[in-house]
Structure 1
Amino acid sequence: MHPQTVPSTEPPPEARRARVAVSTLFFVNGFTYTNAVPWLPVIKDSLGLTNAELGLAIAAMPFGAILTGMLAGPLIHWFGSGRTAVGTSLISLGALPFIALAQNWWMLAAALFVMGSADAWTDSAQNSHGLRVQRRYRRSIINTFHAVWSLAAVSGGLLGAVMAGSGVPILWHLAGVTAVLVVVNVAISRMLLPGPENSERADGVNGHDGSRARVPARSVLLLVMLGVLLMAAGGIEDSAASWGAVYMSTELGAPLFLAAMPFVACQAMMTVGRLVGDRVTDRFGAVAVGHASGLLSAGGLAFALLLPHPVTTVIGFGVMGLGVSTLFPLALAAAGNIPGVRTGDGVTVVGWLGRAGFLAFPPLVGYLADTLTLGSALWAIAAAGVAAFLLASALRPRS
């Protein structure tokens, strides 16, 4: 079953403008914090932090997202997804220079906590507004938004690395990035779609009149299934960053440069998958793509673990990245279209559970690795791919 019917006419001009605006919001979101990542060793030394203290400060970011992320639904309902996305993105940008201004651990952790909270709100709001634009296009475009985010994250990290390596003061760099992105955010804010959040939905939910129909039990079940699907996707996506290099160096004896390649391969193939994901979804339907994504995720990592060699490991993590690439966009799109559930609420709840997967899987794999071996522990990630395959039926479009 195809999720949308490709129209014979071009989308209206306001939808095309809004698509550019949402793509820009995704770029700003992916570009913001990644500019600071290459500076973390410098920050650690300048503040005299231990590894544990730096790790705890960085953990304030996902902690803020988990603790306050569910506020995104009410914010979207009160102010609309477009205004919420722009406003909360400005909060993230406002926190960025304070990473450079931090004089101690508490100031650094506080800046990252605010950034994590605002990032969670922006993520839900920009995806919700992206779904409004997608409904006007009458075909899948959600994957390309996430592809833009991936490209922005890589670009931000590269710019940060260049600035840190060239001796530019960290405050000049982060304040300059903030100033430019604030101007960009304000400039595109008028290009977003006007009107209430239910404008493009036939079931009329998500209005601003204060009414709220009782959510059907079937819709609640779909919400739970999609949430578990995204938890699995979060664990899969995180595994390359958290364990790829460790597995290559400790289990396979790879040198440091080669040890970084599973993460690079995973991110590169994720970007490729998101660039082609919309066309594949329109051709084969969200459920078929979800099934294939789960199989590729599980199969790619199983290939790496069954044939333990640096080359096969890099290939396996790349296949895994291709598989997981469409799970987040498609699950958020399905959550935003559940009958009887407001778009912002569905995206917020499922996205929150996805972030929980990013937090839950690293300690789980670490515990299993200490008990068994890292190679054995990573089968938990392959199992998450199987779970994604089994839950892909929840991606079927509902009306």
Structure 2
Amino acid sequence: MRAEPGRGVIRARVAVAALFFGNGFVFANVVPRYPEIKAGLDLSNAQLGTAIAAMPLGAIIVGLLASPLIKRFGSARTSTIALALMGVNVVFIGTAPGFGLLCGALFVAGSLDAVTDVAMNAHGLRVQRRYGRSILNSFHGVWSIGAVLGGFAGAGAAQAGLSLTAHLVVTGALTAAAALVALRYLLPGPEDAERAEGAGGEAERDGRGARRPVLRVAGFLALLGLVSAAAASVEDAGASWGSLYLRDELGANAFVGGLAFASLQGAQTVGRLLGDRVVRRLGDRLTARLGGALVLAGMGAALLWPSVPGTVAGFGLAGLGIATVIPAAFHAADELPGLWPGAGITVTAFLLRIGFLLPPPLVGLVADAESIRLGLVAVPLAGLVILLTAGVLEGRAASAAPR
């Protein structure tokens, strides 16, 4: 029988969940207040879009430093300090006196978010190894809850007329305080303390020297990046194009148009909160394959027979289908031997962010040339990619085995 986790491990799980919640919550408070930031700085739409694009740029450029930081300071300190700095930085976003400084603050926000993301996932996987069963999906579900509540908090503050500075000072202070309190309860010791003996060490040599294992690991990471980028592109499609498709091409009103993203995000949250039970029974690989098939079938049918209810349902099925894919990719990347602590997650996170960066303009080009409906064919195609590449993820035995 599997031993029950001790009190310290349970506290560490709660602390990691607090980090995921804070990471989802803190910046979501800023998004509903973009119109005030735009108006306060007298920005054009193009300038605001350029400033917002500084976030993924910072994440891609600086995010690669996450693994060296984890190696030097540990995932506990790296995640909590980066999240605390995110709390400080949101104040600078809200008080930036000009376009250039706003771009800089958003670049820093993306950088800190990327480092926090990798480090908290690395520490969450440490806790998961202590539990001996899948719990990572629940952390991602808590992140989604934090993002939704953060969005509501930001919208409520704006509606109530609370000053932007006061709102973000309170939000940032609460986030920083929670992060620093969480540090006290995270797991102590080296990053590989929970691994089985021999795991996570130097790359195996197969008689042909180290070259072949290095190439194999690189190929493995590339596939993990592909499967996670495909999942990310599905999520982004709901955020970027779902409302426009429903309103402009299917004639839905503004409220119903917003249901595309709400359906996807809500189903994804439920899928993540329930996903660990499914993964324990089926394994990451089969769960992801079923999820890819769900994306392919759900959005494929919605686009073949277009209707407002069918499209909302299709995005919901897509959100459910991708719920466990990115956590599974992080899990598989973290188990690769011969890498620095957090290096596998760092590379995978770097590649998946391309899934957020590249598809929107590509879908936009197709939409301008033909229609948004045709551009959204990218969503079922992403489901097909997940279905075909899920073999790189761990199967049932590996996922369920105590570590």
Q: Which TM-score bucket, shorter chain as reference?
A: over 0.9
1:370 is aligned to 2:368: yes
2:302 maps to a residue whose letter is A
Is the 8 Å Cα contact of residues 2 and 132 (structure 2) preserved in structure 1?
A: no
1:43 is aligned to 2:37: yes
2:207 counterpart residue number:
none
Q: How many angstroms apart in 1 are the aligned matches of 2:241 and 2:170?
A: 33
Q: How many residues align?
A: 390
Is the 8 Å Cα contact of residues 143 and 329 (structure 1) preserved in structure 2?
A: yes
Is the 8 Å Cα contact of residues 31 and 156 (structure 1) preserved in structure 2?
A: yes
2:215 counterpart residue number:
217
| Residues 22-59 of structure 1: CA deviation (Å, up to 9, x unaligned) | 00000110001010111100111111000000111111
1:316 counterpart residue number:
314
- SS of the equivalent of 2:251 reads coil
Is the 8 Å Cα contact of residues 200 and 337 (structure 2) preserved in structure 1?
A: no
Is the 8 Å Cα contact of residues 21 and 189 (structure 1) preserved in structure 2?
A: yes
Is the 8 Å Cα contact of residues 205 and 341 (structure 1) preserved in structure 2?
A: no
Q: How many angstroms apart in 1 are the aligned matches of 2:25 and 2:231?
A: 22
1:302 counterpart residue number:
300
Q: How does 1:165-184 map to 2 (within 5 A)?
A: 165-184=159-178
Q: How many angstroms apart in 1 are the aligned matches of 2:94 and 2:378?
A: 38
1:89 is aligned to 2:113: no
Deviation of 1:14 (Å): 1.9
Deviation of 1:212 (Å): 7.8
Q: How does 1:181-220 map to 2 (within 5 A)?
A: 181-202=175-196, 204=198, 215-220=213-218
1:131 is aligned to 2:125: yes
Is the 8 Å Cα contact of residues 205 and 212 (structure 1) preserved in structure 2?
A: no
Q: How does 1:212-251 map to 2 (within 5 A)?
A: 215-251=213-249
Is the 8 Å Cα contact of residues 36 and 160 (structure 1) preserved in structure 2?
A: yes
2:268 counterpart residue number:
270
Query: Percentage identity across aligned positions?
Result: 46
Q: How does 1:45-194 map to 2 (within 5 A)?
A: 45-194=39-188
Structure 1 residues 69, 156: closer, same or farther in 2, change over 3 A?
Answer: same
1:334 maps to a residue whose letter is A
1:382 counterpart residue number:
380
- SS of the equivalent of 1:333 reads helix
1:310 maps to a residue whose letter is V
Deviation of 1:130 (Å): 0.4
Deviation of 1:296 (Å): 0.9
- SS of the equivalent of 2:342 reads helix
1:4 counterpart residue number:
none
Q: How many angstroms apart in 2 are the aligned matches of 1:394 and 1:203?
A: 23
- SS of the equivalent of 1:285 reads helix
Q: Which runs of 5+ in 2 are unaligned?
A: 205-209
1:333 counterpart residue number:
331
Q: How many angstroms apart in 2 are the aligned matches of 1:8 and 1:336?
A: 22
TM-score (norm 2): 0.94
Is the 8 Å Cα contact of residues 292 and 385 (structure 2) preserved in structure 1?
A: yes
Q: Please give the root-mean-square deviation of Cα atoms over the aligned residues, in Å.
A: 1.6
| Residues 278-326 of structure 1: CA deviation (Å, up to 9, x unaligned) | 0000011111101011111121111210121111110111011100111
Deviation of 1:206 (Å): 5.7
Is the 8 Å Cα contact of residues 205 and 342 (structure 1) preserved in structure 2?
A: no
Is the 8 Å Cα contact of residues 248 and 254 (structure 1) preserved in structure 2?
A: yes
Deviation of 1:165 (Å): 0.6
| Residues 106-143 of structure 1: CA deviation (Å, up to 9, x unaligned) | 11111111110000000000000000000010000000
1:34 counterpart residue number:
28
Q: How many angstroms apart in 2 are the aligned matches of 1:216 and 1:68?
A: 24
Q: How many angstroms apart in 2 are the aligned matches of 1:280 and 1:205?
A: 26
2:281 to 280, 283, 305: 283
Is the 8 Å Cα contact of residues 88 and 173 (structure 2) preserved in structure 1?
A: no
1:252 is aligned to 2:246: no
1:391 counterpart residue number:
389
Q: Point out the more displaced range, 197-206 or 262-271.
A: 197-206
Deviation of 1:102 (Å): 1.0
Is the 8 Å Cα contact of residues 240 and 266 (structure 1) preserved in structure 2?
A: yes
1:17 counterpart residue number:
11
Q: How many angstroms apart in 2 are the aligned matches of 1:376 and 1:133?
A: 43
Q: How many angstroms apart in 2 are the aligned matches of 1:204 and 1:69?
A: 28
1:357 to 355, 358, 362: 355
Is the 8 Å Cα contact of residues 304 and 312 (structure 1) preserved in structure 2?
A: yes
Is the 8 Å Cα contact of residues 86 and 172 (structure 2) preserved in structure 1?
A: no
- SS of the equivalent of 2:82 reads helix
Q: How many angstroms apart in 2 are the aligned matches of 1:276 and 1:197?
A: 27
Q: Point out the more displaced range, 103-112 or 146-155.
A: 103-112
Q: How many angstroms apart in 2 are the aligned matches of 1:200 and 1:9?
A: 14
Deviation of 1:203 (Å): 5.2
Q: Which runs of 5+ in 1 are unaligned?
A: 1-6
